[in-house]
Structure 1
Amino acid sequence: MRRKLIAGNWKMNGLSEEGLRLTEAIVERRLRAMEHGSEDAESCELLICPPFTLLAQIRPMLGGTGVSLGAQDCHPAASGAHTGDISAPMLADLGCAYVIVGHSERRQNHREDDSLVQAKAQAALDAGLTPILCIGETEDEREAGKTQEVLRRQLSGSLPELKSGEATSLVIAYEPVWAIGTGKSAKNEDVREAHASVRSFLEERFGAELAREARLLYGGSVKPETSASLLAEDEVDGALIGGASLKAEDFWAIAISCP
């Protein structure tokens, strides 16, 4: 069984006080559930991905809580003359377990192509981090019937090379660009179809065992009122959440909707 992963991408939000307050509220809910032996405490893995500026402050708050720490991006090189960038080993040194790579906002606003995303994903693996590799089509591409083509192209160019036993070190987030921050969310059947296509591609490239073990998330205007139905889908192994992760009550409501 693939354990569900509920990941919060805070994006460029949160100064110290509000970021620490949000973390405290999430941790309190998780610890309360653990103390009462609630199934909610272990039904899924929780992950928060704050801005770089908050990672060091938040790390000590998460010990023993079952909430993991992640980052929103990394540089493909381990070190060097890259002013303003953050490497995967630096993130690991800060206690991160995950890093998001290839988010559509990075692909569009920073012109990141598949080869750069692949290099970042490989850097994450080399540093002992689990990359959350984002893929997704635009609205124009979906209307043109090119969703499957786009996803396969992005996977082909963005996936790092994986060896036997590394499937659990890969998370792929299907985030249709037209659903991110728009309030629109893909229908369950659309997500099911996209995830089945991704799983099929993984099997073709890496074999059936790895394809079964890799976790596939959905992201794009995930809300508490719709998450239970989405997370009940066999091919949906969790969610990558944007806006709803900035409210502890919404983030927790999505987390406990895991079947």
Structure 2
Amino acid sequence: MRRKIIAGNWKMNMTPSQAVALVNELKPLVATDEADVVFCVPAIDIIPAMEAAKGSNIEIGAENMYFEESGAFTGEISPSMLTDVGVKYVVIGHSERREYFAETDETVNKKVKKAFEHGITPIVCCGETLTQREQGVTIDFIRQQIKIAFLDVTAEQAAAAVIAYEPIWAIGTGKVATTAQAQEVCAAIRKCIAEIYDQATAEAIRIQYGGSVTAASAAELFAQPDIDGGLVGGASLKPDFGKIVNYK
């Protein structure tokens, strides 16, 4: 039985002082023994958020990471910088990173491999545009993203990874894929992992749904056989995130 993982992606929100206040507000609301709870926060918030989360069930993750150890890469954050402060999760390949900051399937693959080298669990994002869905190429497109993201990644590493399926047309729009649509794609992702590796690896990997997840939609989405939690955007900045985490 795969353990649910529910992660908040704060995006470019919350100053360090606001982050501390939000963590303190959410700590009692997200307390649970039945799921892993991760707050993926802006880099400047990682250390204060970790201090605020001490003694709780909250893990603090990063929203991005570069694929080099160090060097002349102004503005980037290395994996060793993250591990030095105790980061265990990092979001990789979010559609906003791909759209605004020129991330590609190939750079996503480099980041995934580098995260595993440092013992950081990647939350690997994939998702289609509205045009791609309307043209019936969703599954083909997602399979391409997954196959390249996991190139040269071992089965043991893949089993420990998290994949977040986020239809781009549902991110921040208030639109949510139907439960059937979300389950269909997450099942296809699991099938793709089985083809790359084996059934055991596919059964082990955790697959989230993301895209305007709310307290009202969480229970039905997370009850699906191939959806193992959610990557939550705007709702993770509000008290309602507690209702998503404790969805039952």
Q: TM-score, normalised by structure 1?
A: 0.93
Cα deviation for residue 164 of structure 1 reads 4.3
Cα deviation for residue 78 of structure 1 reads 1.2
Unaligned runs of 5+ in 2: none
Cα contact 2:174–2:212 (8 A) shared by 1: yes
Tell me the amino acid that sits aligned with residue 218 of structure 2.
S
User: Could you tell me which residue of structure 1 aligns to residue 24 of structure 2?
Assistant: 24
In 2, Cα distance between equivalents of 1:193 and 1:132: 20
Matching of residue 138 in structure 1 with residue 129 in structure 2: yes
Matching of residue 174 in structure 1 with residue 165 in structure 2: yes
Matching of residue 9 in structure 1 with residue 9 in structure 2: yes
Cα deviation for residue 26 of structure 1 reads 1.5
Aligned residue among 55, 58, 68 for 1:64? 55
Q: TM-score, normalised by structure 2?
A: 0.97
In 2, Cα distance between equivalents of 1:164 and 1:229: 30
Aligned residue among 183, 187, 192 for 1:196? 187
* 1:206-255, Cα deviation, whole Å (9 max, x unpaired): 111111000000000001111111111111000000000011x2111000
Kindly report which structure 2 residues correspond to 1:34-73, keeping only aligned pairs within 5 A, or say none.
Answer: 41-73=32-64
- Percent sequence identity is 40
After TM superposition, what 4+ stretches of structure 1 lie above 3 angstroms from structure 2? none
Cα deviation for residue 92 of structure 1 reads 1.1
Tell me the amino acid that sits aligned with residue 153 of structure 2.
L
Cα contact 1:174–1:217 (8 A) shared by 2: yes
Unaligned runs of 5+ in 1: 34-40
Cα contact 1:102–1:135 (8 A) shared by 2: yes
Cα root mean square deviation, aligned: 1.2
Three-state SS of the structure 2 residue aligned to 1:95 is coil
Cα deviation for residue 160 of structure 1 reads 4.6
In 2, Cα distance between equivalents of 1:199 and 1:28: 33
* 1:36-80, Cα deviation, whole Å (9 max, x unpaired): xxxxx2121110011101111111222331111100000011111
* 1:140-159, Cα deviation, whole Å (9 max, x unpaired): 00000000110011111112
Three-state SS of the structure 2 residue aligned to 1:165 is helix
Cα deviation for residue 162 of structure 1 reads 3.2
Query: How many correspondences in the alignment?
Result: 248
